[in-house]
Amino acid sequence: MSHKRNFELSLNRRIGATPERVFEAFVAGDQISQWCAPRGMSVPEAALDVRVGHGYRLTMEARDRSTYTVTGQYRVLEPPTRLAFTWQWVDDKLPAVETLVQVALSPCDEGTELRLIHSGFPEPIMRDAHVPSWNSTLNRLVELLDPRGTAANLTLSGDPRSTYTWSVRIALAEKGLPYEMVQRAPHSSDQVRLHPFGRIPALRDGDFVLFETSAIVRYLDECFPDPPLIPDSVRTRARAEQWVSATSSYIYDAMIRRYVLQYLFPRGPDGQPDQAVIKAAWPDIVRYLAILNDAYRHHRTIAGEAFSIADLLLVPIIDYLALAPGGDELLSAAPNVRRALASARQRPSFKATHPAHKPLPSQAAPR
């Protein structure tokens, strides 16, 4: 006698809302359309007949306009503690296998303990494919109900003074996303657990951890599309990518590592800034500012008319350079760069995230 194989997944969440509110979010069409899809997707259609033996139909839409539709019937409805419903994809893109979703809700100190069991998968690969989607979807449910909003899931780990950490903070502010800031130094044991290379920043979104600034910004832009930080047009997007790469490969090294940090964390003779390193960086900075000055000749943003990921990475570096000894002299030869910096400094996202700079040492500019 053969038995049907049954693989299942089990997920838990603590939600800052009562079981009654969580239960309602599963059965109210206007609410389920706000969360019942992974990040970066919407629910343009939600039809629910919330009675045992009756059904529902949800259509999820990705940013590329591709759609995925799931249907099912309600098997258990016991507000506010239990519900169960079948789950079956009706698209050719996904296997048409009927599975079962069971949700248990119980009160806890934070509000509600949610346990979701999705069972009936004939193969582990099908079960495993649903794990990240459900995790991302439950993140959205948490944010819909928790007073903290996205701060219930989003945690940024790093040092706010870092240009790279600052870049991500600007992105979060541009999109109006609350988050928790956890200050950690590079290579600290806690940071290495998130970023295997020990650098900063790292982002945690519920169960999902991501490192490297450009990857984090792209993820945020996919998940929270408004306002966009990745240009739409092919050429403008390529130009933005060009400046993202150039900033990390050349500009950061000359302006921050070999110049600004020499003043902030002096390691030269007698604990003074290493003037040999600073002097060697000066001509590179002059050359890079000339290149940037030409790039800024038509716009106050580096890749076109709109503020983008390229500006997120570049502007903090220019701001730090402007505050360093000799910064005024360097920028005086690059008026377009200075104008772009002044424009960026007026953005609410820039003002809200600006690190509390300690005044840099007053020293003569190198010659």
On the question of pLDDT at 243 being above 80, the answer is yes
Check residue 267 and give its pLDDT.
86
The torsion angles phi and psi of 5, rounded to 5 degrees, stand at -70, 140
Condensed to tens digits (0 to 9), the pLDDT of residues 208-235 reads 999 999 999 999 999 999 999 999 999 9
Ranges 6-15, 16-25, 263-272, 283-292: which has the least confidence: 263-272
Condensed to tens digits (0 to 9), the pLDDT of residues 69-83 reads 999 999 999 999 999
Q: Which CATH number fits domain 234-353: 3.40.50.2000, 1.20.1050.10, 3.30.470.20, 3.10.20.30?
A: 1.20.1050.10
- Mean pLDDT, rounded, for 258-262: 96
Question: What pTM was computed for the model?
Answer: 0.91
Confidence bin at 24 (pLDDT 50/70/90): very high
Check residue 362 and give its pLDDT.
47
Condensed to tens digits (0 to 9), the pLDDT of residues 52-66 reads 999 999 999 998 899
Q: Which architecture characterizes domain 7-147 according to CATH?
A: 2-Layer Sandwich (3.30)
On the question of pLDDT at 105 being above 80, the answer is yes
On the question of pLDDT at 51 being above 90, the answer is yes
On the question of pLDDT at 361 being above 60, the answer is no
Spatial contact of 31 and 144, defined as CB atoms under 8 Å apart: yes
Check residue 96 and give its pLDDT.
78
On the question of pLDDT at 6 being above 90, the answer is no
Check residue 304 and give its pLDDT.
86
Contacting residues for 7 by C-beta, under 8 A, at least 6 apart: 119, 121, 122, 123, 124, 126, 127
Condensed to tens digits (0 to 9), the pLDDT of residues 117-136 reads 999 999 999 999 999 999 99
On the question of pLDDT at 331 being above 80, the answer is yes
Check residue 209 and give its pLDDT.
97
Q: Which architecture characterizes domain 151-223 according to CATH?
A: 3-Layer(aba) Sandwich (3.40)
Condensed to tens digits (0 to 9), the pLDDT of residues 130-183 reads 999 999 999 999 999 999 999 999 999 999 999 999 999 999 999 999 999 999
Domain segments of the chain: what residues?
A: 7-147, 151-223, 234-353
